Amino acid sequence: MYLAKIFVTHKKSILDPQGEAIKNALHRLDYETVENVSQGKYFETTLNCDSEDKAKQITDSICDSLLANPNMETYRFEIEKVGD
């Protein structure tokens, strides 16, 4: 079994209005040193696969087909073996 930790964020070229709103709120709370905030999504999936390579293939396919909008978002993931 493998655990996939998936991080989805806006592409650098895409405006992140929620990140900007968070940054502005932090500035109002006197956290003036904060220069940038990026908001994103985090997912965990458990995969019953025979190999790490297969878990990577499936995770990549899941991200491409459902979890990330390829026009606006990018993703990365980490795979770790869990259980026996």
pLDDT tens track for 34-68: 999 999 999 999 999 999 999 999 999 999 999 99
Global confidence as pTM: 0.85
79 burial class (0-12, 13-18, 19+ CB within 10 angstroms)?
buried
Cα 43 from Cα 21, distance rounded (Å): 23
pLDDT tens track for 29-41: 999 999 999 999 9
CB 48 within 8 A of CB 84: no
Structure tokens at 32: 């003036």
